[in-house]
A and B are shown apart, each in its own frame.
Chain A
Amino acid sequence: MALPLVYLGMRASEIGDRLPALLTSPRTIGVFANSTILALVVTVISALIAVVAAFLTVRTDLPGRRIWSVLLILPLSIPSFVGSFAMIAMFAPRGSALQNLLAPFGVETLPSIYGWPGAIITLTLFSYPYILLTVRSSLRGIDPALEEAARTLGCSLRMSLFRVTLPHLFPAIAAGSLLVAFYVLSDFGTPSLMRFDSFTRIIYVEYQLAFDRSSAAVMSLLLVSLVGVILYFENRFRGRATYYSTGPGSRRQPQIIRLGRWKWAALVFCGAVVALGVIMPIGVMFYWFFQGIAAGHQFPSIGWITLNTVYVAAIATLVIVALAMPLAILVVRFPGKLTTIAERASYIGFAMPGIVIALSLASFGANYVPAFYQTLGLLIFAYAVLFIPLSVGTIRSSLLQVSPRMEEAARSLGLGGGRVLLRVTMPMAKAGLLTGAALVMLTVMKELPATLLLSPIGFKTLATQVWSSTEAVIFSQAAVAALILVGISTLSVIVILSQERARMRE
């Protein structure tokens, strides 16, 4: 995991005298400000949407709240670059669906979607589900006794929600927000399509078009240090209070809040989010697809591409889970300074943008291990560096659910350490492991920059197919790949959701 960083450092040091000029150039400062503000704004809006959505689907009598709770998670299965294409197709200043619709009324151009508005809206729409997932499970886990205690101390229902329930959700909001912030900083597709000068776009441009490896490396290191700063402050301000309930939790149902006349506003809110985040992108893809069919387009290689994608993602997932498991077990069962540092460090890995990893591995491979360069092995290695932390996180939380007493009981019944792991720990943590694997597979399939830079020549995945087809303006090809990608991703999301539900039943 340190390899990409070390290599970047080496590359960056080659820049020599140009370093001060590069660091203080208006463009660098502008990019730094752009990325920081974008991450901040998207995270705040995402948190607002996620908290409201979680609250509506868990605690109110919203009609059809079970269906909404699935629909509102679904944007997770749509890669943000697919969403960006759809946004552009719908709302671009000229030639978009909306402009065509308004053309009879004399509307020639729409306000530009490119830049800030497009980047903010798109990234928010496709990353808020990360916060929704964490907030929802926290909201479900809250002990209803807390709100009841607040009520007897003179708080109205609304006051108790603000003074007790919301603070209880802060850690979940923070955890989800961290994911969203890192996602925004590391996302490559959306800023590129929305022509927004973020770190990822500039790094790609420097590397691919300007062939300036050194300044790309410097930019990458800047981005990594921004991530480090965020992690530092998150850890610093986490505070002393812990948020789990201290007593043996009760199994009462929390009070369901009647929306009354707010019901319509709530339905409009959920409807709008789902319309933009799910229906719009899928609709646009289907539109392109049918247009392509009508124009007689053929999709000869799509079967192979799908197979490639699933094959690589499956191997990568197996490798990642196999590597993450021992790490997670160490962290959970042998907590200590060393393991804590290991866990924290892996967080940094998660926050390292795919473009940075891809870049460093690409030039490292090309220069030092040409035999490894442009092989599937290097691609899977990149995936592993990128997503092991994600996997450690979910495996860790599912292992935490397994009491060490269970393992001790098994030991006392004569099972060795390894067999305890196989026969007790793993089966009990199965649900969490499955969720973790589904999440990793989903993320691998959606990954774009590393796949673009590191794939062997001629090797295409659904994600790169979407990307290259749109660059070549063959929208129907892009649409088919995107639809298949969304379909497979949705399966993963369903696995994640069903595991969440199963856990709730226990």
Chain B
Amino acid sequence: MLRLDHTNSKSKTTIEIRGIVKRLGREKVAAVDHLDLDVNNGEILTILGPSGCGKTTTLRLIAGFETPDSGKIIINDNVVADSGGKFIPPEKRNIGIVLQEFALFPHLSVRRNIAFGLRGKSQAEIDERVQAMVNLAGLQGLEDRYPHQLSGGQQQRVALARALAPSPLIVLLDEPFASIDPDLRSRMRMDLKRILKEAGVTAVFVTHDQEEAFLIADRIAVMNKGRIHQIGTPAEIYHNPQDRFVAEFVGKADFIPGRVRSAKISTEIGEFALANSTHVKDGEDVSVMLRPGNIDVIPTESGVGTIQSIEFKGEDTVYSVKLGSGQTIRSSQHAPFIHPVGTRVKIVANSAHLIVFDKDGVPIRLNRSFSENDPHAATT
């Protein structure tokens, strides 16, 4: 069979994963557990999850380094792996890959690393393609160096150029920033996004770093314990987490307990109005998620909490506020002056950004017509 190519694609999804299960190791733990995932043409999809969540295994299943125990993987309308024993080996899938350790061939120069996947072409065509990749990745002048003579960032760009050179359908990236200095990362993230977009390639990017995911992804799939919890744009993931795992993993959050009472949720810091069509009953226990950026602290003698510690971070200041119940919540403020430790404060939360979960971890809709928690309640 020929390598998969761009021409025979009809649908707008490049990768379709259907009910994939992969068990690993002696204990046969399901690293990937009935996973479904669609990746659209030309998008950058980031799989975000803690280490050991199965994201790298998912990538290796797409690449063809692992065979699924059950389920089906379709690339460009071609089944590349299914439980019926159909399996297309990695070299026929037309997928480029950039691994965490880059895996540059140490015995080949930059030029020959990039040209590695270009075969069955004339030397002139190869030279032209390599030059195009060198320009795209900003590697001019480094063509004759060997991998050990390059910095981490340069190695990463060579790995990317090498993966893109054969014009693959898909590029898979497995934590490509893990071995790069933190101060270089933010610039390189933007470079990477630009290169991928210019190449117009579909990309699946695996990371455990949410900041990285936000910067690079068109869509994020949050993964844990072999399952995908939520897929959406970075803003959707951040502002509308579909369950408590996503809420806790993406962004900083504190949770305070509350109870439903006559279409309102009453908590230690005040009351919040519920939407009319909500599924929770009166008297039910819920928990309210508070992001530090979405709550304000206002000094009041009759406040509900006391500032316990202050982290000054330059642009903003993070207060840890101890509530009456003993729980601590964080608030991030831009104000130029700093309230001293020990100040009594009330908490004002913008309900437009509040997320409430019922006892099963299912999100509950709040009535967004109220912009703040009841100030009266908050000051009691």
Task: Spell out A's residues near B (CB within 8 Å).
Answer: 143, 145-146, 148-157, 159, 163-164, 167-168, 170, 240-250
Looking at the complex, which one of A145, A153, A159, A241 makes contact with B101 (CB distance below 8 Å)? A145
A-contacting residues, B136-167, CB 8 Å? 146-148, 150, 155, 159, 162-163, 166
B255 at the interface (CB under 8 A from A): no
Q: How far is the CA of A170 from the CA of B107 in the complex (A)?
A: 10
Task: Spell out B's residues near A (CB within 8 Å).
Answer: 3, 63-65, 89-91, 93-97, 99-109, 116-117, 119, 146-148, 150, 155, 159, 162-163, 166, 168, 172, 179
Give the chain A neighbours of B179 by CB distance below 8 A.
247-248
Q: How far is the CB of A416 from chain B (nearest CB, A)?
A: 35
11 other A-B residue contacts (CB within 8 Å) besides A153-B162, A154-B119, A246-B102: A145-B101, A148-B63, A149-B103, A150-B105, A152-B91, A152-B96, A167-B105, A167-B107, A243-B107, A245-B106, A247-B101
Contact check, A247 vs B106: say whether CB atoms are below 8 A apart. no
A145-B99, A250-B101 known; A153+B116 contact, CB < 8 A: yes
Contact check, A154 vs B101: say whether CB atoms are below 8 A apart. no
Give the chain A neighbours of B107 by CB distance below 8 A.
167-168, 170, 241, 243
Q: How far is the CB of B118 from chain A (nearest CB, A)?
A: 9
Q: How far is the CA of A156 from the CA of B148 in the complex (A)?
A: 26
Q: How far is the CB of B25 from chain A (nearest CB, A)?
A: 11
Q: How far is the CA of A168 from the CA of B108 in the complex (A)?
A: 10
Give the chain A neighbours of B172 by CB distance below 8 A.
152
Q: How far is the CA of A242 from the CA of B172 in the complex (A)?
A: 27
Give the chain B neighbours of A170 by CB distance below 8 A.
107
Contact check, B103 vs A241: say whether CB atoms are below 8 A apart. no
Q: How far is the CA of A80 from the CA of B42 in the complex (A)?
A: 65
Q: How far is the CB of B327 from chain A (nearest CB, A)?
A: 40
Contact check, A143 vs B3: say whether CB atoms are below 8 A apart. no
Give the chain A neighbours of B117 by CB distance below 8 A.
152-154
Contact check, B99 vs A149: say whether CB atoms are below 8 A apart. yes
Sorted from nearest, which 3 A-B pairs have the closest CB atoms? A247-B101, A153-B117, A145-B103
What residue in chain B is nearest A149 (Cβ atoms)? B103
Give the chain B neighbours of A149 by CB distance below 8 A.
97, 99, 103-105, 159, 162
Q: How far is the CB of B181 from chain A (nearest CB, A)?
A: 14
Contact check, B105 vs A156: say whether CB atoms are below 8 A apart. no
Contact check, A151 vs B119: say whether CB atoms are below 8 A apart. no
What residue in chain B is nearest A145 (Cβ atoms)? B103
Q: How far is the CA of A245 from the CA of B93 in the complex (A)?
A: 26
Q: How far is the CA of A153 from the CA of B103 in the complex (A)?
A: 12
Contact check, A151 vs B89: say whether CB atoms are below 8 A apart. yes
Contact check, A151 vs B106: say whether CB atoms are below 8 A apart. no
A246-B155, A247-B155 known; A156+B103 contact, CB < 8 A: no
A146-B103, A164-B105, A170-B107 known; A246+B148 contact, CB < 8 A: yes
Q: How far is the CA of A241 from the CA of B93 in the complex (A)?
A: 30
Q: How far is the CA of A149 from the CA of B166 in the complex (A)?
A: 13
Give the chain B neighbours of A151 by CB distance below 8 A.
64-65, 89-91
Looking at the complex, which one of B95, B106, B166 makes contact with A246 (CB distance below 8 Å)? B106
A151-B91, A153-B166 known; A244+B103 contact, CB < 8 A: no
Give the chain B neighbours of A245 by CB distance below 8 A.
101, 103, 106
Q: How far is the CB of B186 from chain A (nearest CB, A)?
A: 21
Q: How far is the CB of A208 from chain B (nearest CB, A)?
A: 48
A148-B63, A156-B89 known; A241+B108 contact, CB < 8 A: yes
Give the chain B neighbours of A247 by CB distance below 8 A.
99-104, 155, 179
Q: How far is the CB of A283 from chain B (nearest CB, A)?
A: 41
A154-B3, A154-B117, A249-B101 known; A244+B106 contact, CB < 8 A: yes
Give the chain B neighbours of A240 by CB distance below 8 A.
146
18 CB contacts below 8 A, A to B, read: A148-B63, A148-B97, A149-B97, A149-B105, A149-B159, A153-B96, A153-B162, A155-B91, A156-B89, A167-B107, A170-B107, A241-B108, A242-B146, A243-B107, A246-B106, A247-B103, A247-B155, A248-B101
A152-B63, A152-B97, A154-B3 known; A146+B91 contact, CB < 8 A: no
Give the chain A neighbours of B168 by CB distance below 8 A.
152
Q: How far is the CA of A80 from the CA of B4 in the complex (A)?
A: 56
Q: How far is the CB of A241 from chain B (nearest CB, A)?
A: 5
Contact check, A152 vs B90: say whether CB atoms are below 8 A apart. yes
Q: How far is the CB of A150 from chain B (nearest CB, A)?
A: 7
Q: How far is the CB of B103 from chain A (nearest CB, A)?
A: 4
A149-B99, A168-B106, A250-B101 known; A241+B3 contact, CB < 8 A: no
Q: How far is the CA of A325 from the CA of B112 in the complex (A)?
A: 41
Give the chain A neighbours of B101 by CB distance below 8 A.
143, 145, 245-250
